[in-house]
């Protein structure tokens, strides 16, 4: 599906993937341009994984904090810079695509390696064709942070208060920020929100007592990541507290944790319990994907705090999540963006109603549909970027089209509508991933069953649309 995106939007893409044909695996880096249906390859390097700092197997002690010293040979970076400067406009983004099987490539901080050398935005190319993220009505943004006592402390309340201020400053329409944190941090967070002038009706500080009914997970160093269901008291608490609302973006601030080749976020035992000094509890990408779908969120964001237990875990988690569900997925490195300027630029893109300029910073890792990004104009260089008001809106997909008809920008889309739409988006992506193959390739019986299921999803979409129309019609009749 990424190949179709490249062709549709004439993208210049840096493709990095493993070559497994030889005796030893190698890493192949190619710079490619898709234009008018034809692909041109400008650079092609085959590198020993050791040249990139990619290990044969992970050493746990080397995976902590900033992790392995990944890099790229200077000769390759210089060649990339020269080729891109010759073929792209100043400020035009290069798209990064990690080709499957990704393996340990997902652990490397590619933006931190590439951006200083290329001096242009680096965006991740997703594997979904349609961008489901089309904000309608009021923005509802969730900020959640947990600081388990077992991990190194970070300024959780300060992060949340500053990010709340930044989000409200960036939002172009009415916005509500929902805050969730450890019970013991509530007083400090309240004080900091007041200091930043955002302790008002635009901010809802949710009571951790809402998590009281949910059991504390068992203590284990192994990551259990259920697919399609929620087990974490944190996610269950947030889901119930947000019930009935249409959520746009969920942003989590937490330590990362790497167990074997699985990644997760580290949180306290529950919002009401933070006593285990040896082991936190974990939330993996499958459970996060289920939470985003159940709350109707079209986007997910993650901030790596200072002294993160495993930055590599964050990158693996975000890469995994981005391939599980359609929609923007953002990773933000606080260590490299202490003033939040890069994060603010990312939010400008995510919350824009029309294509916008991409953020350019080594602290960001952003999976984003190309339809959301405005290219620079041919005249005027880097300063002549499309203005949001002049750019053409990204065309909504059929699943979302009825939302524009039924709800004005001032209205809030019902939570059940958003959740149903996200479920359909996610299931459609899963079916496309299962059935994607080379032209003329035979499709197995199991894949045929998946294609049949897409017809069921279309029927579900029609049911959601009909119910939404009936609800709006009933409300309008009641108001007459």
**Each residue of 302-322: pLDDT tens digit?**
999 999 999 999 999 999 999
pLDDT per position as a tens digit, 132-155 = 655 567 899 999 999 999 999 999
Q: What is the pLDDT of residue 444?
A: 32
Least confident segment among 2-16, 225-239, 424-438:
424-438
Name 437's Cβ contacts closer than 8 Å, sequence gap at least 6.
Answer: 443
Residues 139 and 111 in one domain: no
**DSSP letters for 206-267:** --GGGGTTSPPPPP-SS----SSS---HHHHHHHHHTTTS---EEEEE-EEEEETTEEEEEE
CA–CA separation, 128 and 322 (whole Å): 9
Q: Regarding predicted confidence, which is higher, 13 or 134?
A: 13
Residues 31 and 161 in one domain: no
Q: What is the pLDDT of residue 241?
A: 97
Residue 367 located in a structural domain: no
Range of the domain at 33: 2-124
Residues 156 and 36 in one domain: no
Residues 307 and 331 in one domain: yes
CA–CA distances in Å: residue 55 to residues 52, 63, 100, 230, 361: 9, 11, 18, 34, 26
Q: What is the pLDDT of residue 464?
A: 63
SS3 state of residue 400: helix
Q: What is the pLDDT of residue 471?
A: 66
Q: Please, what is the average pLDDT of the chain?
A: 85
Total domains in the fold of the chain: 2
CA–CA separation, 346 and 335 (whole Å): 16
Buried b (16+ CB within 10 A) or exposed e, 269-279: bbbbbbeeeee
Q: What is the pLDDT of residue 45?
A: 96
Q: What is the pLDDT of residue 244?
A: 83
Short-list 116, 124, 87, CA closest to 2: 124
Short-list 352, 326, 292, CA closest to 427: 326
CA–CA distances in Å: residue 311 to residues 224, 306, 307: 20, 10, 9
CA–CA distances in Å: residue 32 to residues 1, 26, 36, 40, 102: 16, 19, 13, 6, 18
pTM of the model: 0.82
pLDDT per position as a tens digit, 166-186 = 999 988 889 999 999 999 999
Residue 370 located in a structural domain: no
Domain-ending residue, one of 102, 124, 146: 124
Residues 167 and 114 in one domain: no
Average pLDDT over residues 232-258: 95
Residue 244 located in a structural domain: yes
Average pLDDT over residues 121-141: 81
* pLDDT reading at 28 higher than 80: yes
Q: What is the pLDDT of residue 261?
A: 84
* pLDDT reading at 1 higher than 90: no
% of the chain beyond a pLDDT of 90: 62
CA–CA separation, 240 and 244 (whole Å): 9
Residues 119 and 139 in one domain: no
**Environment class of 337 (CB within 10 Å of its CB; exposed 0-12, middle 13-18, buried 19+):** buried
% of the chain beyond a pLDDT of 70: 77
Residues 240 and 137 in one domain: yes
Residues 65 and 164 in one domain: no
Helices 398-406 and 445-479, axial angle in degrees (round to 10): 0
Residue 27 located in a structural domain: yes
Residue 385 located in a structural domain: no
- 339 pLDDT tier (thresholds 50, 70, 90): very high
Residues 219 and 153 in one domain: yes
Domain-ending residue, one of 95, 124, 153: 124
Residues 165 and 54 in one domain: no
Least confident segment among 21-35, 65-79, 265-279, 337-351:
21-35
pLDDT per position as a tens digit, 364-410 = 999 999 999 998 876 554 444 444 344 444 444 555 666 666 666 65
Residue 255 located in a structural domain: yes
* pLDDT reading at 428 higher than 70: no
**Assign residue 260 a region: left if phi > 0, alpha if psi is -120 to 50, beta otherwise?**
left
Domain-ending residue, one of 124, 143, 163: 124
Residues 223 and 113 in one domain: no
SS3 state of residue 327: coil
pLDDT per position as a tens digit, 194-214 = 999 999 999 999 999 999 999
Give the residue ranges of DSSP H helices in 324-414. Answer: 341-351, 398-406
Residue 13 located in a structural domain: yes
Q: What is the pLDDT of residue 440?
A: 30
φ, ψ for residue 473, nearest 5 deg:
-60, -40
Average pLDDT over residues 418-435: 59
Least confident segment among 88-97, 239-248, 453-462:
453-462
Residue 363 located in a structural domain: no
What does DSSP assign to residue 173? S
CA–CA separation, 205 and 362 (whole Å): 32
* Other CB atoms within 10 A of residue 136 CB: 23
CA–CA distances in Å: residue 97 to residues 152, 284, 323, 417: 33, 23, 12, 32
Average pLDDT over residues 427-450: 43
Average pLDDT over residues 440-456: 40
Most confident of 201-210, 213-222, 239-248: 201-210
Q: What is the pLDDT of residue 412?
A: 64
Residues 139 and 210 in one domain: yes
Q: Which helix (H) or strand (E) holds 431?
A: helix 415-435
φ, ψ for residue 433, nearest 5 deg:
-65, -35
């Amino acid at each position: 599906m990424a190949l179709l995106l490249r062709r549709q939007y004439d993208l210049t893409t840096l493709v990095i993937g493993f070559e497994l044909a030889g005796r030893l695996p190698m890493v192949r880096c190619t710079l490619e341009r898709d234009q008018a249906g034809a692909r041109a390859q400008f650079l092609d390097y085959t590198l020993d994984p050791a040249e990139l700092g990619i290990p044969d197997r992970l050493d746990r002690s080397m995976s902590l904090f900033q992790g392995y010293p990944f890099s790229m040979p200077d000769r390759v970076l210089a060649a990339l810079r020269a080729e891109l400067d010759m073929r792209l406009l100043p400020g035009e983004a290069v798209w990064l695509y990690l080709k499957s099987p990704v393996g340990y490539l997902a652990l490397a901080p590619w933006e931190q390696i590439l951006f200083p050398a290329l001096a242009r935005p680096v965006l991740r190319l997703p594997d979904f064709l349609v961008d489901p993220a089309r904000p309608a009505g009021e923005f509802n943004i969730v900020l959640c942070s947990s600081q388990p006592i077992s991990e190194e402390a970070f300024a959780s309340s300060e992060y949340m208060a500053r990010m709340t201020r930044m989000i409200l400053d960036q939002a172009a329409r009415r916005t509500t920020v929902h805050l969730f944190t450890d019970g013991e941090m509530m007083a400090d967070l309240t004080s900091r929100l007041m200091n930043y002038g955002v302790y008002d009706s635009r901010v809802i500080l949710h009571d951790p007592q809402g998590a009281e009914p949910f059991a504390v997970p068992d203590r284990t160093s192994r990551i259990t990541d259920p697919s399609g269901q929620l087990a974490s008291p944190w996610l269950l608490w947030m889901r119930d507290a947000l019930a009935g609302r249409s959520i746009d973006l969920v942003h989590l601030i937490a330590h990362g944790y790497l167990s074997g080749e699985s990644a997760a976020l580290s949180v306290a035992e529950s919002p009401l319990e933070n006593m285990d000094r040896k082991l936190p509890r974990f939330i993996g990408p499958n459970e996060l994907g289920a939470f985003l779908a159940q709350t109707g969120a079209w986007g997910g964001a993650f901030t790596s705090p200072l002294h993160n237990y495993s930055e590599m875990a964050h990158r693996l988690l975000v890469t995994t999540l981005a391939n599980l569900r359609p929609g923007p997925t953002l990773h933000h490195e606080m260590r490299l963006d202490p003033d939040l300027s890069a994060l603010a630029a990312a939010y400008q893109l995510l919350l824009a109603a029309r294509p916008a300029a991409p953020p350019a910073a080594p602290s960001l890792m952003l999976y984003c549909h190309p339809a959301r990004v405005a290219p620079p104009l041919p005249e005027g260089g880097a300063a002549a970027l499309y203005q949001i008001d002049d750019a053409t809106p990204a065309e909504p997909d059929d699943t979302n089209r009825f939302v524009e008809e039924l709800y004005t920008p001032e209205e809030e889309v019902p939570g059940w509508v958003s959740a149903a739409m996200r479920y359909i988006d996610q299931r459609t992506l899963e079916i496309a991933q299962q059935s994607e193959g080379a032209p003329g390739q035979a499709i197995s019986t199991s894949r045929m069953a998946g294609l049949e299921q897409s017809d069921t999803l279309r029927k579900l979409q029609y049911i959601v649309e009909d119910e939404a129309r009936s609800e709006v019609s009933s409300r309008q009749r009641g108001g007459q």
